[in-house]
Structure 1
Amino acid sequence: MPSKDSSRKTSVLTQIGVSQGHNMCPDPGIPERGKRLGSDFRLGSSVQFTCNEGYDLQGSKRITCMKVSDMFAAWSDHRPVCRARMCDAHLRGPSGIITSPNFPIQYDNNAHCVWIITALNPAKVIKLAFEEFDLERGYDTLTVGDGGQDGDQKTVLYILTGTSVPDLIVSTNHQMWLLFQTDGSGSSLGFKASYEEIEQGSCGDPGVPAYGQREGARFRHGDTLKFECQPAFELVGQKAITCQKNNQWSAKKPGCVFSCFFNFTSPSGVVLSPNYPEDYGNHLHCVWLILARPESRIHLAFNDIDVEPQFDFLVIKDGATAEAPVLGTFSGNQLPSSITSSGHVARLEFQTDHSTGKRGFNITFTTFRHNECPDPGVPVNGKRFGDSLQLGSSISFLCDEGFLGTQGSETITCILKEGSVVWNSAVLRCEGTGLPAGLRRGRA
């Protein structure tokens, strides 16, 4: 299999390095899980590299110390890398991991890799579960089949490509084969999957969707699982799936996507862009209302935002209607300051155009009474002392050992300012000093 351009890999040795003078190269080191033959680093000398059993050398077997200028000497190539031999392997249970070659670095072009998995117990079957999957769509494929004869079209279970993480796959007997093929150009990060031998007559545990729940805990032939999503999330896919006699579920496990329209009535919660943290999609016009008790106000704190600048917008309004005053309009990826409503209702509107979806946003909201300040939280790498949010009360903060307050105040007080109940200062921000332990608090 041809090696890829080394410039696309992470180098462990700079191309040009100076040791003790212009007639020597720096020590090239020894590859992890490998050996080096030679310890002469003078101009014109060469060293060779080999890998331990079960590992293949990627890069040059021999490098030479060369003169590149009157002042500099450098090795002719990077130090090579020893990678586990993961192509054309016979694997045995009870469990293990399979990855594309070089994972999580881009796989090679013109690859042809075969894995055959055999259960230790011939009465069991093989379950294959993917953690990551990213192949050049339509050109690079991973074929999964039944039995130990790779490439047999009669035993093919799935031909996988693209970026969607595949569902659970279960063989019908004690063996499973995988064939990974790539074309001559364009590559991606590849895949990572775990395999495990399980009892016959089972489809395996398909898991529970994020932000969802499942009814049913049996995965034998004929068993049915039912799914539903948490409030504010919509189910995408089948509400119920059944384990079939071919050891496959009748449909993929459904997903839970944040709804584009929802009224929140809880005292606290999270507002997410649809499909967060994946691309939110195009042509959206979402509206969310946060409805607190009449004596309360609403505090919104941004945890994350990545919205296409100038074309996609999140607007937060101080009231329930589209005509309510605007508290803020947000686009781009700069994390905004928190926002507080003047009344007990806040309206969030999210609009996107016809192209270029981004990660979206993640906002935490809390509600508090009119004579209270919003909960300031706890500083990262710090502690908080005091819980009262009432007008006139104070809360103190202290940074953890090894961290110093760089912004904000160690003590904040809830005050009345221009008719609003607010904290008189920002929360303390604690950052690492980078100093030795004895100097962190000014000690010599």
Structure 2
Amino acid sequence: MPAVTCPGIEAQLSEHVTWRLVSGSLNEYGAQVVLSCSPGYYLEGRRLLQCHANGTWSVGEQRPRCRVISCGSLSFPPNGNKIGTLTVYGATAIFTCNSGYTLVGSHVRECLANGLWSGPETRCLAGHCGSPDPIVNGHISGDGFSYRDTVVYQCNPGFRLVGTSVRICLQDHKWSGHTPVCVPITCGHPGNPAHGLTNGSEFNLNDVVNFTCSPGYLLQGASRAQCRSNGQWSSPLPTCRVVNCSDPGLVENAVRHEHQSLPEGFEYGVTVVYQCKRGFYLLGSSALTCTANGLWDRSLPKCLVISCGHPGVPANAILTGDLFTYGAVVHYSCRGSRSLVGNSSRTCQEDSHWSGALPHCTGNNPGFCGDPGTPAHGSRLGEEFKAKSLLRFSCEMGYQLRGSAERTCLLNGSWSGQQPVCEAVSCGNPGTPAHGRIVSSDGMLFSSSVVYTCWDGYRTSGLTTRHCTANGTWTGTAPDCTLISCGDPGTLANGIQFGTDFTFNKTVSYQCNPGYTMEPATSPTIRCTKDSAWNHSKPTCKAITCGQPPPVQDGKVEGTDFRWGASISYSCTHGFQLSQPAILSCEGRGVWRGEVPQCLPVFCGDPGTPAEGRLSGKSFTYRSEVFFQCKSPFLLVGSSRRVCQADGTWSGVQPTCIDPAHNTCPDPGTP
């Protein structure tokens, strides 16, 4: 009987199925064949085939076949992308990271024959740029050096930034732009105003220059300028306009002569002269000069009417006329049958003297002369009036004799010579002192007095009254009226003083430096009063400080300098990150300026769900936990619990769900 044989085993098998004879002879009755799959596939159906006596293989109802192994789906890495949707054996997934993130792990992962993806888990980490270049005369704010983090360059006071102040960490791990530089802020010399001077030798940031005008010129514009952060002076160069004095006015009974007549007024240095009209004499100074402060150097003079005084009346004579001023005429006549000897009329002249001489009347009896009289303020020696009698005349101290000091009675009954007169000594015009005026005067003759006073804002240490003496001079000297000064009130600590004139009615103003506030704020200006004292004390400059910066939950303040102009930043505790780069500056009157950030938990992103598995947990931020489970009968390979860590990554290894029926190693065979 012939041996039973079965059809060729290859014809019975599907694609990717391999076989191996384990007993008997191939294709003969009793032969046993073990089936397996090519790598990457797993078997469905009988594993052991036997050649039956009826010449068939024991394949059963369903022919054994090989199915391709699946590795499960791969999730997209946070901040990255995945190319490739197949998850079966031989499939590949290509990973890329978003701009600014660096790929750590496998760039390409392949589904292996064991049902696992090749290589380590792919992660996209923020790029790191390293410490930014330092800046001389400045500082850097910001402590994050990862992708998209920013740092801010700031210059120290007195310097300005050239270049970009903000640099960003780019995806190529380099800081954007170029390192800026801090250069000194300078405005340069502002120049000198015409007829003026610029005072100051430093022209850098916050330096102040003061502008002054030459004597006789008035400043128009700002008297000071400060160098600003834009390299420009805070105000333009002022102009110096020549000082004009107001019209000094006219003097009654005087003519004014101007050395210079300008339509715009009386400029600095101009002199006006007053000349009294005929019949008047000058009391005070005839010339007034316009000074640098816009005031005339002296008060206006007065023109007083010329008076010759009482002309006197001889004995036995009658005086007709009661006006004794310039141009007035008086007439003399004798009583009874007496005859007038001398001038019958006299006129008051411009020199304050009566014309001619005092006449006299003849005697009643032959051989006698009439009584010649005794001059006022004088004395007479001799009382006989007969012929050949001699009379001598003299004057009191302060008076001088005009006429004949000796007179003789002639045979014809008349006196020889001219009737003497005792005229008061004249001391002349006492003048007006600079910055003063005459309060009262009773003339310029012996025993007269003149009283002076100084202008407001001026004072004198000398006498203010002068008397006309017998020798024709005024006592003392005209008072020296000096301008009242309150003295330098002193500079202000942490401030600037404006004003260098400390005399009467002048003001000195103060301004505090940036970062300081004035106390009291209402008293920046002080004024010099007539008692040589400032009207109140100068203010003080108090440093401006900001209070504690606003708190940030899960964050802390970086920086301890809360003075005006200082800056602080924030940092977050472990596992938290700033919502934005934040720098707050102490500005204004002690207020923090800038947007306060938030400290947000680090975000790890969706870790992904394995194929044939499920994920428990909806939060993907710092300290959040997620749990993985596989559907039955799949087994979980990897971490069943993962925690979001402070560095933005998940702990453990991303799990995979595999079929337990296909997790054995293929038969290695028997050598």
Q: What's the TM-score, normalizing by structure 2? A: 0.16
Higher Cα Rg, which structure: 2
Q: Which has the higher strand share?
A: 1
Q: What's the TM-score, normalizing by structure 1? A: 0.23
